[in-house]
Amino acid sequence: MTHVARARLSDGREIVYFDATDEGRDRHRDARPAEARAGAAELRRDVTTGEWVSVAANRQSRPFLPAATDCPLCPSSDGRTTEIPAPDYAVAVFENRFPSFGGPPESESIMDDSRRPSVGRCEVVCYTSDHGESFSGLDPDRVRLVMDAWAHRTAELSRDPNVEQVFPFENRGEEIGVTLHHPHGQIYGYPYVAPTTRRMLDVAREHRAATGRDLFADVLESERAGERVIAANEHWTAFVPVAARWPFEVHVYPHVQVPDLAALPERHRDAFGPLYLSVLRALDNVFEVPMPYVSGWYQAPVRTDRDLAYLHLRLFSVRRAPGKLKYVAGSESAQGAFVNDVPPERAARLLREAM
């Protein structure tokens, strides 16, 4: 059973601890003096695409690659206080001090149809108090605890009237743009349905109208019968998709259709860790260096098209060869038209061999 404890940081932000036992984390008080919180971002709509952009000037002052001795995600200790006011922790989730969405609004008024104050929520998920660890170094029990934290936050954020989609994700590696080395991820409570999710659900709707079947279930069935599967167990399959955009891209599907992590059965939560850890370790083994990656959970929007969605995880790396990265340059950045230098079948074979 996962134990949940809540507390408040000195500036009013919430922190939630997840433990395998009742450790009373909520009894640790944040000793830092109260400071005013940074103002919220502003949402602006690109009228040529219909997509929203968050203008978040407050993020310019966030920490950038601090020394391990100055890490804000390590536990607090005598003489040094951090974002986590406890001498140790298992998994901790707190409101981001420098949010892309949400935060205390500077104005409640709607400025016009294409500009409005930001709503939503951004949270930081610390997987362990060990600064030198990585997700791939966790044990399956800790991964299960992280999954429970993801599911808990998904359910809670989905009740926020300002949140339309919940997206738990992890960035790993300076090549990706990580600014804190402590093993952590984030959760975005978007105030809109993200463009990629919207496009996928539109295609899923077209597929259902044309075939009467579920798009994602058909993808999983097709991939499980093919040569790009890299790992599988009774409840999950990990594969390189046939049209992978990135040099190393892996999709991980449960063998049950559910809209989000909060709806994922217990047996699937138990079975995820061993499989996912094998995928992450294979990525690191391919070139015998830590692989930079982005990993994120694709969940149903909170209020729309939940019947069309199929919870799954997508992971990709920009490393295409030893010492070489794929840069998202002209075609990809300007037009979203990807060119992949590594055939998906070769990537799948390399990952299987690295396990």
Asked if the model's pLDDT at residue 26 lies above 80, the reply is: no
CB 305 within 8 A of CB 201: yes
Co-location of 243 and 321 in the same domain: yes
At which of 144, 172, 192 does a domain end? 192
Strands 312-317 and 248-254: antiparallel
Tell me: do 258 and 182 sit in the same domain.
Answer: no
One domain, residues 147 and 238: no
For the chain, what is the domain count?
2
Instruction: Tell whether the torsion through CA atoms of 315, 256, 270 and 150 is positive or negative.
Output: positive
Cβ atoms of 19 and 92 within 8 Å: the answer is no
Q: Do 229 and 188 belong to one domain?
A: no
26: left (phi over 0), alpha (psi -120 to 50) or beta: alpha
Angstrom distance (rounded) from CA 42 to CA 279: 38
User: Which whole number is the average pLDDT over 96-117?
Assistant: 75
348 and 205 belong to one structural domain: yes
What's the DSSP call for residue 89?
Answer: -
| Cα angle 8, 109, 302; round to 5 | 60
What pLDDT was estimated at residue 257? 98
Bridge partners of residue 231, in order along the sequence: 238
Plot region of 291 (φ>0 → left; ψ -120 to 50 → alpha; else → beta): beta
N-to-C CA span, the chain = 31
Note whether 95 and 150 are within 8 A (CB): no
Using the structure block, give the residue that is written with the tokens 């390399």. 350
Q: Active site residue: 182, 184, 235, 312, which one?
A: 184
Mean pLDDT confidence for 261-276 = 98
Distance CA 327, CA 287 (A): 18
Whether 296 has a pLDDT exceeding 70, the answer reads yes
pLDDT for 64 equals 86
Listed in sequence order, the residues at least 6 apart from 171 whose beta carbon sits closer than 8 Å to its beta carbon are 177, 178, 185, 186, 293, 294
What pLDDT score does 254 carry?
A: 98
pLDDT at 25 over 80: no
Question: In this structure, are 273 and 341 located in the same domain?
Answer: yes
The answer, yes or no, to whether residue 108 has pLDDT greater than 70, is no
Strands (E), 68-117: 91-95, 115-117
Question: Which range marks the domain in which residue 229 is found?
Answer: 196-353
User: Could you tell me the two tokens for 172?
Assistant: 């790993």
278 and 328 inside one domain: yes
Which uninterrupted H or E stretch holds 171?
Answer: strand 165-172
Residue 181 annotated in active site: no
Please compute the mean of the pLDDT values over residues 125-154 and round it to a whole number. 98
Question: For position 113, what pLDDT does the model report?
Answer: 82
Residues 173 and 202 in one domain: no
Residue where a domain terminates, one of 175, 192, 209: 192
Q: What CATH number is attached to the domain comprising 135?
A: 3.30.428.10
Each residue's pLDDT tens digit, 174-187: 999 999 999 999 99
Q: Specify whether the CB–CB gap between 120 and 190 falls below 8 A.
A: yes
From 192, 217, 247, give the residue that closes a domain: 192
Q: Is 250 exposed, middle or buried (0-12, 13-18, 19+ CB in 10 A)?
A: buried
**What sign for the dihedral angle of Cα 16, 22, 23, 27?**
positive
Please state, for a pLDDT cut of 70, what percent of the chain lies above it.
97
